[in-house]
Amino acid sequence: MTTTEPTATHLILVRHGQSLYNRDGPNAGENSGLTELGWRQAQLVADWLAQTYRADVIVASPLTRARQTAEVIGHRLGLPVVVQPGLEEATQSYLDELFAPDADPLANWEMAWQPTPQRAPIYTAYRARVRAGLAQVLETYAGKTVIVVAHGGTIGTIIRSLFGGHHVIVHTENTGITHLTWQEGRWRLIFHNSQAHLAPPGAQPAV
């Protein structure tokens, strides 16, 4: 007797490669492209993704650094890049709006703090934009393996929102990879911020 695995949507979130803004700061412009290192990172992550997944579609934020990274991946995988508005990085910092720091590392263990327009206007508006973009991706590509090239803030906000930890700072390195699945009505975090593609051959993972 054979059984059929329930249909899953695989969401592979990839932060863009190093940008001129990452390296040089605001003088480079907020919508700057990739540095030489960023282009190399994009090629490495593209090779790793090609070896690891059979992707159905590549989606990118409209910002230049994300589109350039996605285009490298798309060329390697033989897939076009679909640009999805709403997945852009925040235009203003919202970190100060997240729940206040506490000396006790377990202080928020039982807390279900939720942002509101009154408590966190910048973050709330940003979350709404990201949600709209992500909802379009999930509706259009349900049951597919989707590579989404976006930004550290976008990826962090998706993770916080899906898992209800808005007081948590989620860090993602350039071309860090996050794998989420939606299956049988549940989200599952497979891994976050993997940089296996950047490790030299034979290197041991850091503990």
Tokens of 109: 């263990």
pLDDT score of 33: 96
Instruction: Give φ, ψ of 64 to 5 degrees.
Output: -55, -45
The structure tokens listed for 162 are 């899906």
End-to-end CA distance of the chain: 43
Tell me the average confidence (pLDDT) per consecutive run of 10 residues in the chain, 207 residues long.
Answer: 74 98 90 96 97 97 98 98 98 88 81 87 97 98 98 97 89 97 96 91 48
CB neighbours of 62 closer than 8 A, spacing ≥ 6? 83, 84, 85, 87, 88
Interstrand relation of 177-183 and 186-194 (parallel, antiparallel or unpaired): antiparallel
Closest CA to 149 of 165, 170, 133: 133
**How far is it, in rounded angstroms, from Cα 69 to Cα 39?**
7
Q: Containing H/E element for 164? A: none
198: its two tokens: 């950047």
Q: What's the pLDDT score for residue 36?
A: 97
124 vs 132: CA distance, rounded Å: 12
CA–CA distance, 11 with 144 (Å, rounded to integer): 8
Where are the chain's structural domains? Answer: 8-100+109-198
By C-alpha distance, which of 57, 54, 68 is closest to 22? 68
- The fold for domain 8-100+109-198 equals Rossmann fold (3.40.50)
Determine the Cα angle at 165 with ends 106 and 41, to 5°: 110
